[in-house]
Amino acid sequence: MGLINIENTEMQSTTGLNKLEAIFKDVNKNGIVAENLIKQLTELREIARIEKDPLVVKTLRLVYTYIEDEGHFDLDLLAEEEIDESDLEENVEEKVEEGIEVEEEEVEEEEEEEVFIDTVEDFEERRENFVYFLSLIKDAKNEYNRTELKKIRTFLWEEIH
């Protein structure tokens, strides 16, 4: 697999872009080295804090805390999530039976309630998943990416606390 790069990034400041680029290069060259990443993610978090993005700030803190605790990044963020649609349909049906109006946003919230992220053992898979996480950060204004970051935040909060 070739090197992964970043293009068309949404991070607001040049400092943030440079830090993100440095992290991408380091991970592509050296893999996921906990000591390096904790320092770099801490610095990136400070930049996100200046840019006033609380979701990114919190998620970065939880990620580097997880790496610090576990010694690695083994979250399988690229796995397809299976949603038990029967549970979702039952909940929507119950609301309809009770005469409660169901909006599309409520259906999406139901899907987000249960967050499950598996782990990976393979070095290359760990790297790919971490690069995916960085790509979410680089375009954190994208609605889909924000949803993914919220899932990661929720999962890590439960893991760490």
Rounded mean pLDDT, 100-117: 54
Q: Is the pLDDT of residue 23 over 80?
A: yes
Model pLDDT, residue 50: 93
Mean pLDDT of the chain: 79
Structure tokens belonging to residue 124: 């290359």
Angstrom distances, CA of residue 139 to CA of 50, 66, 110, 118: 16, 22, 25, 23
Q: Is the pLDDT of residue 116 over 70?
A: no
- CA–CA–CA angle 45, 39, 30 (5° rounding): 115
Any idea of the CA torsion for 55, 4, 115, 113, to the nearest 10 degrees?
50
Kindly state the percentage of the chain with pLDDT values over 90: 45
| Cβ neighbours around 87 below 10 Å, total | 13
User: Are the C-beta atoms of 25 and 40 separated by less than 8 Å?
Assistant: no
3-state secondary structure of 26: helix
- pTM score > 0.75 for this model? no
Distance CA 105, CA 107 (A): 5
User: Are the C-beta atoms of 123 and 114 separated by less than 8 Å?
Assistant: no
Name the residue with higher pLDDT: 68 or 115. Answer: 68
Rounded mean pLDDT, 121-146: 90
Which DSSP string corresponds to 65-103? HHHHHHSS--EETTSPPP--HHHHHHHHHHHHHTT----
Rounded mean pLDDT, 52-77: 93
Kindly state the percentage of the chain with pLDDT values over 70: 69
Going from N- to C-terminal start, the domains of the chain cover 14-79+116-160, 82-115
Model pLDDT, residue 121: 72
Structure tokens belonging to residue 90: 């039952």
Rounded mean pLDDT, 82-111: 51
Structure confidence at residue 135 as a pLDDT band (50, 70, 90): very high
Distance CA 11, CA 51 (A): 9
Rounded mean pLDDT, 112-130: 74
Structure confidence at residue 80 as a pLDDT band (50, 70, 90): low
